[in-house]
Amino acid sequence: MDYPQIAQQILQLVGGKENIINFTHCFTRLRFQLHDNQTANREKLLQTEGVISVVEGSGQYQVVLGNKVTKVYEQLVSFVGDVKRNNQTEPKLSLAVKILNAFAAIFTPIIPAIAASGMLKGILAIAVMIGNYYYQTDIKSYNTYTILHAASDAVFYFMPIILGYTAARVFKAHEFISMIIGATLCYPSIVNLMTSNTEVTLFAIELTKASYTSSVIPIILAVFILSYVQRFLDYIIPEVLKIIMVPTFSLLVMIPATLLIFGPIGIYIGEFINWVYYYIMGVSPILLGAFIGGVWCILVIFGAHRAIVPIGINDVAQTGHQSLLAFAGAANFSQAGAALGVFFKTKNKNLKTVAASATITALFGISEPAIYGANLRLKRPMVCAVICGALAGGLMGWGGSYGTAFANQGVLTIPVYAEAGTKAFLCYLIGIGFAFFGSCIMTMLVGFNDIANEEESKTIQTSSSQPLTNDTTILSPVAGEVIALNQVKDEVFASGSMGKGVAIYPKAGEIFAPADCTITVLYPTLHAIGLKLDNGIELLIHIGIDTVNLQGKYFQSYVETGQHITKGSKIVSFNIEKIEQQFDLTTSIIVVNSDQYKHIDYCQLTHVSNNDNLLFIQV
Residue 458, helix vs strand vs coil? helix
Could you give the CA distance from residue 413 to residue 432 in angstroms, rounded to a whole number? 12
CB 212 within 8 A of CB 290: no
Q: Tell me the Cα Rg of the chain.
A: 31
Which ranges in 108-241 belong to alpha helices (H)? Answer: 111-134, 143-157, 159-171, 175-186, 188-195, 217-236
Task: Determine phi and psi for 514, rounding to 5 degrees.
Answer: -75, -10
| C-alpha distance across the termini of the chain, in Å | 29
536: left (phi over 0), alpha (psi -120 to 50) or beta: left
Residue 511, helix vs strand vs coil? strand
Could you give the CA distance from residue 560 to residue 435 in angstroms, rounded to a whole number? 29
How many other C-beta atoms can be found within 10 angstroms of the C-beta atom of residue 209?
A: 15
CA-wise closest residue to 507 among 568, 567, 556, 580? 580
Task: Determine phi and psi for 323, rounding to 5 degrees.
Answer: -110, -10
Partners of 532 in the β-ladder: 518, 538
Q: How many whole angstroms from its chain centre is CA 26?
A: 21
CA-wise closest residue to 375 among 366, 361, 385, 364? 385
Q: Which of 26, 186, 384, 517 is catalytic?
A: 26
Pairing of strands 555-557, 510-512: unpaired
DSSP 453: P
Could you give the CA distance from residue 224 to residue 236 in angstroms, rounded to a whole number? 20
CA distances from 307 to 77, 81, 114, 300, 301 (A): 32, 31, 15, 10, 13
CB 77 within 8 A of CB 50: no
Helices and strands (H and E) in the chain: how many? 24, 20
Residue 591: which H helix or E strand, with range?
strand 587-591
Could you give the CA distance from residue 65 to residue 23 in angstroms, rounded to a whole number? 15
Which ranges in 477-585 belong to alpha helices (H)? Answer: 491-494, 576-579
- Amino acid letter for position 189: S
Could you give the CA distance from residue 426 to residue 422 in angstroms, rounded to a whole number? 6
Residue 483: which H helix or E strand, with range?
strand 480-483
Q: Is 26 a catalytic residue?
A: yes
Partners of 517 in the β-ladder: 533, 565
Could you give the CA distance from residue 17 to residue 411 in angstroms, rounded to a whole number? 53
Residue 403, helix vs strand vs coil? strand
User: Which positions are annotated as active-site residues?
Assistant: 26
